[in-house]
Amino acid sequence: MQNDVVAATIKGVMPTPNGCAVFLGNDEKTFVIYVDHSVGNAIQMTLDGVKKDRPLTHDLIGSILLGLGTRLERIVINDARDKTFFARIFLTMENELGTKIVEIDARPSDSIVLSLQQKRPIYVARAVFEAVEDMTEILEQVRKQQAEDDTGEDVP
């Protein structure tokens, strides 16, 4: 699997008029996935370690996995078609009969929230990673603009 995928981390979550832009990648490249506001907020809250009064949907799913003795092993953003990304969640279930690996089709946005909550790795299929546009400079420009807006000064 190691040659087929690239490890990625969340580099930023930025609001957009229609949702949120989730920037992810590594030192080599950053790309963006657009998600709806609710999932973008869930990603940001998880990154910030925000404690919630009541469990949200992703918290509920995590509790169900825990209750069933299932471990989220990793997620893989495995495909991109017509500006839509696809992901797979890999779960491990162990019981008296042995170990079972379950692979589930999921939206990347939901998968990302779950992987962050469970502190599990995010991977991107190498073919997807190589095909996406590098948005590293855009992310840096957005961060610079936000810093300028916060301080009211130009930031070098």
**What pLDDT tens digit does each residue of the chain (156 aa) get?**
567 999 999 999 999 999 999 999 999 999 999 999 999 999 999 999 998 888 889 999 999 999 998 999 999 999 999 989 999 999 999 888 889 999 999 999 999 999 999 999 999 999 999 999 999 999 998 888 878 877 766 555
Domain boundaries, the chain: 5-151
Structure tokens at 78: 């495995």
Query: Residue 112, by phi and psi: left (phi above 0), alpha (psi -120 to 50) or beta?
Result: alpha
In CATH terms, the fold of domain 5-151 is Bifunctional nuclease domain (3.10.690)
What separation in angstroms does the CA of 103 have from each of 15, 88, 91, 115, 145? Answer: 31, 6, 6, 14, 40
Residue 156: per-residue pLDDT: 57
Residue 83: per-residue pLDDT: 87
Name every residue whose Cβ is closer than 8 Å to that of residue 27 and which is 6 or more positions away in sequence. Answer: none
Structure tokens at 140: 């840096």
Measured from the Cβ of residue 128, the count of other Cβ atoms closer than 10 Å reads 21
Residue 154: per-residue pLDDT: 59
Task: Convert the pLDDT of each residue in 12-54 to its tens digit.
Answer: 999 999 999 999 999 999 999 999 999 999 999 999 999 888 8
CA distance 107 to 40: 13
Please give the sequence-ordered ranges of beta strands (E in DSSP) within 4-69, or none if there are none: 5-16, 19-25, 30-35
pTM of the model: 0.88
